[in-house]
A and B are shown apart, each in its own frame.
Chain A
Amino acid sequence: MIHERNITPGMANVSRRAALLGLGTAAFVLALRLPVQADESTGGADKKYAGAGMPNGIRNDPKLFLSLAPDGTVTFICIRSEMGQGVRTGLTMIVADELHADLARMKVQQADGDEPKWGNQDTDGSRTTRHHFTAVRQVGAAMRQMLEAAAAQKWGVPASEVETVNHEILHRPSNRKLGFGDIAAAAAALPVPPPDQLKLTDPAKFRYIGRDDQKIVDGFNIVTGRAGYGIDTKLDGLLYGVVLRAPVYGGTIKSYDATETLKVPGVVKVVVIDPTPIPSEFMPLAGVGVVATNTWAAIQGREKLKVEWNDGPNASYDSATYKTELEGLARKPGLVVRNQGDVDTAMPKAVKKVVAEYYIPHLAQAPMEPPAAAARIVDGKCEVWACVQSPQAARERVAKRLGLSNDDVKVNVTLLGGAFGRKSKPDYAVEAALLSKAVDGKPVKVTWTREDDLGHSYYHTVSVEHLEAGLDASGKTVAYLHRTVAPTIFSIFKPDQQHEAPFELGMGAVNVPWNVANLRVENPGVEAHTRIGWFRSVSNIPHSFAIQSFIAELAAAAGRDPKDYLIELIGPDRIIDPGEQADGWNHGEDPKLYPYDTGRLKRVIERVAKEAGWGRKPIQGRGLGIAGLRSFASYTAACVDVAVSKDGQISFPRVDIGIDCGPVVNPDRIRSQLEGAVIQGISLATLGEISFKNGRAVQTNFDGYEVTRIDAAPREIHVHIMDLGSKDYTRPLGGVGEPGVPPVAPALANAIFAATGKRIRNLPIRDQLAG
C-alpha cells in the first residue's frame, strides 16, 4: 500500500481501523430488549443477524468506498477504527484481491463518523472482518466489473472477453490494455452491478488474503513518529484542556475556587462541566475544566483548583466490602438463567462434591494513549477529532449535549493508541466540545492524564463466581451449578440494573458446552457503584477464569489428566443450537450459521496441547496448564508453561495459543492479536486490579496499576491458526481481537497448580505464591 508520509495528525481524514461491541447506540437498545431466556429471545421472523442486525447495517456500494485517481491510485475508505487490530490493513487486502488491484497502488483513507452514510462503524465485539468480509469483497468485485464493462464499451468488445489483472484491464484477443486511471471516469458513470451479478474471485487466486507477510498500512508512520493519534491533534490556534472530575461516580460540585488557577501563566479559562445524572451512559462526569495555551499550563492550573464535592450515592463504595457482599450473594440461590435436568436431585447423590469460588477484580483498559479529543465550533457547527471506537456514538453525544443536530457535528477519527473498550465511550469527545463552546468555539484539545484514565474509567466488572459439581464414582461430573455475581454494563445505561445482561451471560456463563445432564446457572443480582464498561473480551474474563479453573479442579478431584477431563466434559462432537444453552444472543450471529460446534473446540484444544508438549515428563518447578472455549464466534485454547521459583516468582518459558476463527484474512495480524492477548491475559492474571475506597479508585498510575512489562513476558509465544492455508472461504468468519484473552488466565492458574499444587482462586496472583 502507498504509505502516507507526513500526514498531519490534526487532519485525520487519512487513517485508521476496526471492531466494537455495538452497545453504543441502537444496538444497545436492541440488546436491552433481548430477554435472558433463549426461548423468548430467538426473535421474530424478521430478526436480523450479523452486520445487518447492527444499527445502520453494512454497505457494499463501491462508489461509497473506492475512488480512482487518474494515475491509477485507488483510495479505499476504511470506516472502522484502527486501534492496533489491523483493520486498515486487512480490509484493504480484501478489496485489493477482489478488485485485482496492486496493493502497492492503494491508499487507505479514514472515514468520518457518519453511519447513515457509511453503515455501522462501531469498532467493537471482534466484528469488523467477520461482518465486512463479504461486503468488502462485493465492493471490490463491483468496481472491477464496472471497470471491465467500461473498457469493453470503449473497445467495442463483449465484456466477457475483458479481464482485470494486477491493476490493468486486458483484452487478450486484441492485445489491448488499460490502466485503472484511464477508464475511471467512464466506469464511474456506469450503474453498480447488483450483488447477484457479481463474480467474486476464486479464493485459489487470492494474492493477499491469507498471505502471511503483509506489512501493516501505518507501519512507516508509526516507527517514524508521524502517525497521528487523537492526542496528537494539531489545529490552528489550538488551546489545551484538562478536567478535574468528580472522584466518585455520581458526584457533583459543591463549590469551587479557581482564583489561584487563573493566576497560572497560560491559563485562559476555567469551565464548569455539569454532571450527567446516574446512569451517565457515555456523557461526561461533573468536572471543572481548565483551558490553557499548552497542556502543562492546564495541568498546573488544575492543581491549583480548590473543589469541594458532593460525593453522592456511591461515596462509600469499598471493593473489599463489596467482595464480601458478592460472596454472600453467590452462596444463595439467584435468578436461574439456564437450567437442564435436575441439579438439586443429582447433587446430593454424587459420590464427591467439589465447591470453589473465584474472585476477579475490577480492571481498567488503560490504553497507552489515554482518552483525548479536540473540538472546535464554527458557525454553529462542531468538528471533533478523536480516538474513538464508535465515531457515530461520539457524534450523537456531542450533538445532544450541544443541542445541535447530528448533521451539524462532524467527527474525524484519528488512529487509536490502543482502546480495549475504553474508547467506545466518547465522554472525552463531549468534554472537548463543551470546553470549545466555553471559549467561543476556539479549538480545544482535552487530554486525559493517566490519573484521569485510571480514576474515571468504565471499569471492567468485578465478580465472584461460585461453582459446585458432583462427581460419580468414576469421577464423571453428574451435576454442575454455577452462580455468577457481577455488576452489569447495563447499569451505565438504565437505572436499577442488577442482573448480567444477555450478552454478558452469553460470554461463557450460560453457554458452556458440558455434556452433563444436570446443569444450572444462576445470576443473583447486585448493584453497581461505579461506571462499568467493557474491557477486551468482557465477561468472558471472569467466566472463563472461574469455569476453566474449576474444570481442572474437577479433574484433580477425579484423579484425571486435566486436558482429557476437559475434552470428555465437552463430550462427543456435536452441533449445539446456542438457544439450547440459553444463549439467545450468540454474539449477534445467526445460530444456524454460528452454532456451538464442540468438535471445533476440541480440535483447537488438542492442537495447542500437542504443540505445547502436553504429557511431557514432569519438570521440577514447572507446569503446563490448559483452557479452551468459544467466544466471539471463534474457538480458542491456550496452554501456558509456567516456571515457579522457590521464592514464588513466576515466569513463562513458553505459551501456546490456538484459534479457529474460520477463514483467515491476515495471518500476521491474527498472530499479533493473539500474542497481545497472551500478554494482556498474563497482565490481568498476575497484576491487574483496580480497587475502590470511599468511592474512589485507589490506583492512580502504572505504579499502583501495574501491567506486564517485557521482562515478565513469555520467552516464546506460539500462535496456531487452525486451517491456515485453507481456501474454503464459504465458512462464516469468527472474531479475532478478543477471543485470545479468555483462555490465558485460567491456563496460567492451571499451570501453577501443576507446578506447585497451589490453586489460584483470586486474581490478581501478585505474591500469592511467595512464602
Chain B
Amino acid sequence: MISLTVNGHALQFDGDQDMPLLWYLRDIEGLTGTKFGCGAGLCGACTVHLDGAAVRACQTLLKDVAGHKITTIEGLSVEGTHPLQVAWQHANVPQCGYCQPGQIMQAAALLRETPHPSEAQIDEAMSGNICRCGTYTRIRSAIKEAAEQGASQ
C-alpha cells in the first residue's frame, strides 16, 4: 500500500508498486490528460509535476513517489486559467493537441524556475517534448506571452 497526493487529493494504491506513474494515472485514476507517447522518456507527452518539478511519468515508478505530491494537467489550474493555458489558446498552439498537456506541464516547470526565459532557454527546456504536428514556433511564442503575463506566479 502506498499513499500519494494527486492534484491535491490523497490517494492510496495497493497494486503493483513497480507500475509507472503514467499507467496508474491513466488506467487506475482515469486521469487521461497525461499522455503516453513513447514509454521511454523520449517524448515528454507524459510530463507531470513531482513536488513542482517536471518529470516523465512513464519513467517514474509508483514506489518512488510514495508520500509525494503529483500535479497533472487536470490539476494545473481548476478552470483552465493558468497563464500558459490562456496563452496556448490565444496563440491557437495545438494542432492535434495530443502532445500539448505534456508541453504545458514542461513549460510551467520552466517558468517556475526561469520566469523570463530566453529563446535558447525555452528550446533547451522544451527539447524533450516532441510535437509531431510541428507546433514549435507557436509554443515558443505562447511561452513568451505567458512569461509576460507572469506565469511563474
Q: Which residues of A contact B (CB under 8 A)?
A: 9, 82-86, 215-216, 218-229, 231-232, 234, 240, 265-266, 294-297, 300, 366-370, 415-420, 447, 449-450, 668, 672-673, 675-680, 683, 701-703, 707-711, 713-717
How distant is B98 from chain A, measured CB to nearest CB, in Å?
3
Q: Which residue of A lies closest to B79 (CB)?
A: A224
Q: Which residue of B lies closest to A676 (CB)?
A: B134
**Contact between chains at A714 and B137 (CB < 8 Å):** yes
A422 and B150 alpha carbons, distance in the complex (Å): 40
Across the interface, which residues of B come within 8 angstroms of A266, CB to CB?
A: 15-16
**Contact between chains at B127 and A234 (CB < 8 Å):** no
**Contact between chains at B137 and A713 (CB < 8 Å):** yes
Q: Which residue of A lies closest to B101 (CB)?
A: A225
Point out the residue from A232, A265, A709 that lies within 8 Å of B16, measured CB to CB: A265
A711 and B129 alpha carbons, distance in the complex (Å): 10
A702 and B44 alpha carbons, distance in the complex (Å): 11
**Contact between chains at B136 and A679 (CB < 8 Å):** yes
Q: List B residues 87-111 near A (Cβ within 8 Å).
A: 88-89, 92, 94-101, 104
Q: Which residue of B lies closest to A703 (CB)?
A: B42
What is the number of contacts between chain A and chain B, taking CB atoms within 8 Å? Answer: 197
A420 and B73 alpha carbons, distance in the complex (Å): 26
A224 and B94 alpha carbons, distance in the complex (Å): 12
A703-B32 CB under 8 A given contacts A218-B97, A297-B16, A713-B137? no
B130 interface residue per 8 A CB criterion:
yes
B68 interface residue per 8 A CB criterion:
no
**Contact between chains at A710 and B138 (CB < 8 Å):** no
How distant is B77 from chain A, measured CB to nearest CB, in Å?
8
Q: Which residue of B lies closest to A224 (CB)?
A: B80
How distant is B45 from chain A, measured CB to nearest CB, in Å?
6
A677 and B95 alpha carbons, distance in the complex (Å): 12
Across the interface, which residues of B come within 8 angstroms of A220, CB to CB?
A: 80, 89
How distant is A524 from chain B, measured CB to nearest CB, in Å?
33
Point out the residue from B72, B94, B96, B134 that lies within 8 Å of A679, measured CB to CB: B134
**Contact between chains at A417 and B35 (CB < 8 Å):** yes
Q: Which residue of B lies closest to A683 (CB)?
A: B134
B33 interface residue per 8 A CB criterion:
yes
**Contact between chains at A702 and B40 (CB < 8 Å):** yes
Most buried by A among B31, B36, B138: B36
**Contact between chains at B36 and A222 (CB < 8 Å):** no
Point out the residue from A420, A701, A715 that lies within 8 Å of B38, measured CB to CB: A701
**Contact between chains at A368 and B85 (CB < 8 Å):** no
Q: Which residues of B contact A (CB under 8 A)?
A: 15-16, 19-20, 23-24, 26-28, 30-40, 42-43, 45, 72-74, 76-77, 80, 84-85, 88-89, 92, 94-101, 104, 119, 122-124, 126-140
Point out the residue from B30, B96, B100, B129 that lies within 8 Å of A223, measured CB to CB: B100
**Contact between chains at A368 and B130 (CB < 8 Å):** yes
Q: List 7 A-B contacts (CB under 8 A).
A: A219-B89, A219-B97, A226-B33, A418-B132, A679-B133, A680-B134, A709-B129
Q: Which residue of A lies closest to B31 (CB)?
A: A225
Across the interface, which residues of A come within 8 angstroms of B20, CB to CB?
A: 296
**Contact between chains at A294 and B136 (CB < 8 Å):** no
Q: Which residue of A lies closest to B39 (CB)?
A: A449
Q: Please name 6 further chain A to chain B contacts, defined as beta carbons within 8 Å, in addition to the given A295-B36, A415-B96, A418-B96, sorted by A numbering.
A: A368-B98, A368-B130, A368-B131, A680-B134, A709-B127, A710-B126
**Contact between chains at A711 and B36 (CB < 8 Å):** no
A675 and B28 alpha carbons, distance in the complex (Å): 37
A418-B98 CB under 8 A given contacts A225-B34, A713-B137? yes
A707 and B95 alpha carbons, distance in the complex (Å): 17
**Contact between chains at A296 and B27 (CB < 8 Å):** yes
Q: Which residue of B lies closest to A83 (CB)?
A: B96
A676-B95 CB under 8 A given contacts A367-B132, A368-B131, A710-B123? yes
Across the interface, which residues of A come within 8 angstroms of B137, CB to CB?
A: 675, 713-714, 716-717
How distant is A168 from chain B, measured CB to nearest CB, in Å?
28
A419 and B123 alpha carbons, distance in the complex (Å): 25
Point out the residue from A83, A226, A265, A701 that lies within 8 Å of B40, measured CB to CB: A701
Across the interface, which residues of A come within 8 angstroms of B37, CB to CB?
A: 368-370, 450
The 3 closest A-B pairs by CB, nearest first: A225-B33, A679-B134, A417-B98
A228-B32 CB under 8 A given contacts A294-B27, A367-B96, A677-B134? yes
A450-B133 CB under 8 A given contacts A215-B92, A222-B100, A223-B85? no
Point out the residue from B94, B119, B124 that lies within 8 Å of A84, measured CB to CB: B94
How distant is B79 from chain A, measured CB to nearest CB, in Å?
8
A597 and B66 alpha carbons, distance in the complex (Å): 65
Across the interface, which residues of B come within 8 angstroms of A231, CB to CB?
A: 32, 35-36
**Contact between chains at A225 and B36 (CB < 8 Å):** no
**Contact between chains at A709 and B85 (CB < 8 Å):** no
**Contact between chains at B94 and A223 (CB < 8 Å):** yes
Point out the residue from B24, B39, B43, B123 that lies within 8 Å of A711, measured CB to CB: B123
**Contact between chains at B85 and A224 (CB < 8 Å):** yes
Across the interface, which residues of A come within 8 angstroms of B80, CB to CB?
A: 220, 223-224
Across the interface, which residues of B come within 8 angstroms of A221, CB to CB?
A: 97
Across the interface, which residues of B come within 8 angstroms of A84, CB to CB?
A: 94-97, 133
**Contact between chains at B92 and A672 (CB < 8 Å):** yes
Point out the residue from A86, A234, A418, A677 that lies within 8 Å of B32, measured CB to CB: A234
How distant is B16 from chain A, measured CB to nearest CB, in Å?
6
**Contact between chains at B23 and A296 (CB < 8 Å):** yes
